[in-house]
Amino acid sequence: MNLRESFATFPRDLVAGTVVFLVALPLCLGIANASGVEPFAGLVSGIVGGLVVAALSGSRLSVSGPAAGLVVIVVDGIAQLGSFSAFLLAVLLSGVIQFGFGMLKAGRFAAYIPSPVIKGMLAAIGLLLIIKQFPLALGLVDPANPAAAHGSAFTTSFGAVSLTAIAITLLSLAILAGWETRAMRRFALVRALPAPLAVVLLGIGATLLLGALVPGLAPAAEHRVALPALGSLTSLQAALEFADFGPNFAQLMNPDVWRVAVTLAIVASLETLLSLEAVEQIDPKRRAAPPDRELKAQGVGNLLAGVIGGLPITSVIVRSSANVHAGAQSRMSAIVHGALLLISVFALTRVINLIPLACLAAILIFTGVKLAKPSLFVAVAKRGFAQFAPFIVTLVGVLATDLLIGIVLGMLCSVMLTLYANLHRPVVLAQHDDHYLLSFRKDVSFLGKVSVKHALRQIPDGSTVTIDASRADFVDHDVSELIDGFVADAPRRSISVDVKRHARAGAESGWSLRRAAVE
């Protein structure tokens, strides 16, 4: 897009960027909170995704930032590596690996990941999000720290639970569930206001109202966002240094760091490429984005995020779809959203710190429910065992181990089922009186040799046989030799054979079948 077109579309991009900012702000804070890190980390990633990745990306409508799908890797990675600074090194290295993927033109390989494996991964992420956000949704206080409880809390076997947090969570979930319904969309305010922002405004209003009328029921400071007040870039730098942000290069030779980095690079790249495909589908102009350029842009973004203390970045479908539906025309809308996130760090700190964590937990729980909704399980199950098995194996593998191992297990399950499908009845033998029809149902590799041999042994002497291989593009040389031997032996056994083969299959396999007839 040239400069003149950018100026012409800027008003629409400005509006769309503002809408995306309003969606992204609570998501950045919620994902940081779910990851167990400072709110800054989420905002830093949103800013980098808007100002850096969007500028380098080849996609006009994709929006990048911290992703709920990576929360599991972040939590497990920090726990495994022992510190956030070591994890930031893994984020930096994942960016380098992603950039390498782009240089090697690896974007096309995402198409080879089976759909059930991807759906199983997303469903597992959804379930983990729901499970991990329940303590915050309940306002749960550690029994070892009863001082953190306040007037609205009551004691359970798990700790002190806040009635205020539960009420805010339930109201937030009700808003999120009802916001997009036909009944609610009749109201202009609902159409203009993103659902996550409505939830955040509810939380802020509840904090102010309860604080003024019933202070004992207001969300305690421990149950709200805690963003340090900033007045300048100098204070921002001081806050980042105080929070121990920045990669720990002393861990460079730690194999666990590299393992986390590879996991991040693969999953983040996969999520980005899937998001690009989804954005292309909802783009009114169906504009495709070069995947390899996107991987390079994401790599630079993650490298920078690791350096300055941000969470890992991907292209995110929630923000991207909001961008499309808001009328964005170019990547300028994503840049506007990044600039507004940067401004909010300085101008909206007091307001942001009024947001209850229960609101953010509700947003992520709702996201998890959409990723792991029961209808998804039913839809995959209806497609048969070959689709459902890799889905369940991936889901259980992710829940029991981690994302990368779960994906590998799902891929192995898909490969095994594919091998079984090739072994299981690649040919079908039908009989009518003394006439036999041997049909090749699909391409026949060497794995189908046993099935072909078994079928040929069932044909008695004196029969009339038709071998129909017209639907097979490829027949392995071992199988073709087996058929050649049967045809050559047909006159001795008084068998009449008529062979129909695919021209290309014969040329590629060296199949020299001929018609054999007995006079």
In this structure, the strands spanning 427-432 and 435-440 are antiparallel
What is the model's pLDDT at position 442? Answer: 67
Flag whether 251 is in a domain: yes
Please identify every stretch of the chain with a pLDDT value under 50, giving residue numbers as ranges: 3, 147, 151, 242-243, 505-510, 512-519
Which one of 379, 410, 433 terminates a domain?
Answer: 379
**Within 13 Å of residue 142, how many CA atoms lie on the same side as its CB?**
3
Q: Is there a contact between 28 and 43 (Cβ–Cβ < 8 Å)?
A: yes
What digits encode the pLDDT tens for the residues 209-247? 998 988 888 888 888 888 776 655 555 555 555 445 678
Flag whether 440 is in a domain: yes
196 and 85 in one domain?
A: yes
Quote the CA–CA distance of 449 and 428 in Å, as a whole number: 13
232 and 330 in one domain?
A: yes
Tokens of 156: 């359970």
Q: What residues contact residue 90 under an 8 Å CB cut-off, 6+ apart?
A: 77, 81, 257, 258, 260, 261, 264, 306
Flag whether 400 is in a domain: no
357 and 461 in one domain?
A: no
42 and 186 in one domain?
A: yes
Flag whether 407 is in a domain: no
Q: In 3D, which of 445, 20, 459 has the Cα closest to residue 28? A: 20
Flag whether 341 is in a domain: yes
What is the model's pLDDT at position 509? Answer: 46
48 and 191 in one domain?
A: yes
Which one of 318, 351, 379 terminates a domain?
Answer: 379
DSSP string covering 427-451: EEEEEETTEEEEEE-S-B-GGGHHH
| Long-range contacts, 495-499 (Cβ 8 Å, 24+) | 495/459, 495/461, 495/462, 495/463, 495/464, 495/465, 496/463, 496/464, 496/465, 497/465, 497/466, 497/467, 498/465, 498/466, 498/467, 499/466, 499/467, 499/469
Which one of 346, 379, 412 terminates a domain?
Answer: 379
**Structural domain for 137, as ranges:** 3-379
What is the model's pLDDT at position 514? Answer: 44
What digits encode the pLDDT tens for the residues 384-414? 898 999 999 999 998 887 777 888 899 999 9
Cα–Cα distances in angstroms (integers) from residue 312 to residues 19, 71, 91, 248, 261, in the given order: 23, 9, 6, 16, 10
pTM listed for this prediction: 0.71
Torsion of CA 69, 75, 76, 81, to 10 degrees: 130
173 and 64 in one domain?
A: yes
Q: Which segments within 276-396 are labelled E, that is strand?
A: 313-315
Flag whether 411 is in a domain: no
